[in-house]
Amino acid sequence: AGGCFWCMEESFDKVTGVIKSISGYSGGHVKNPTYKQVIYKDTGHVEAITVFYNPKLTSYEKLLDVFWANIDPFDADGQFCDKGKSYRSVAFYDNLKQKKLIQDSIINIEEKFNKKKVVTLVWKFEKFYAAETYHQDYYQNNFLRYLAYKSGCQREKILKKIWN
């Protein structure tokens, strides 16, 4: 979960070995939530994507690197212009190996940034709910609107400032 699921979907779809990504919701207590519920009510869910990939062509570690490069790990209030609980960054894990990889990467980031605290949450993955159809592949199907949104949020500018 890295704020806007449209932006995360675009970032992961570019990775060699990624078969597809799906926008949706995860981490909450409401079954089959809608976008409006997730954004305007306390469902506990965050906007997230699920990523299907070929482990012969990429790895969880590589996907974790892509995740970090596309979020602001120091913003506890959301991501870029999207603020609120449903836009917090969350690194989900399926097993203890993945959890350790996340924790180690957080330590490395904090060391790189002179002990600045990473506030990205680390949650055990439980359930993923696909978002409504109009959210899927939004960055491709609504290209101009998507670019206007991404530009207005200054996502790329902020990411360059953090990571370069």
Antiparallel, parallel or unpaired: β 121-124 and 90-93: parallel
pLDDT in tens, 3-48: 999 999 999 999 999 999 999 999 999 999 999 999 999 999 999 9
Q: Model's pTM, two decimal places?
A: 0.96
7 tagged catalytic: no
The per-residue pLDDT for 132 is: 98
- What band does 141 get if pLDDT is binned at 50, 70 and 90? very high
- What band does 98 get if pLDDT is binned at 50, 70 and 90? very high
Q: Nearest to residue 90, comparing CAs of 66, 68, 109?
A: 68
Catalytic residue among 4, 7, 81, 153: 4
The b/e string for 62-99 (b: 16+ C-beta within 10 A; e otherwise) is eebebbbebbbbebeebbbebeebbbbbbbbbeeeebb
**What is each CA distance from 93 to 9, 64, 96, 121, in whole angstroms?**
18, 10, 8, 11
Structure tokens at 148: 């206007």
The per-residue pLDDT for 48 is: 98
Q: Which DSSP state fits 2?
A: B
What's the CA gap between 130 and 103, in Å, rounded?
A: 27
Structure tokens at 23: 């926008």
Structure tokens at 52: 């299907």
Rounded to an integer, the average pLDDT of 89-98 is 98
pLDDT in tens, 44-93: 999 999 999 999 999 999 999 999 999 999 999 999 999 999 999 999 99
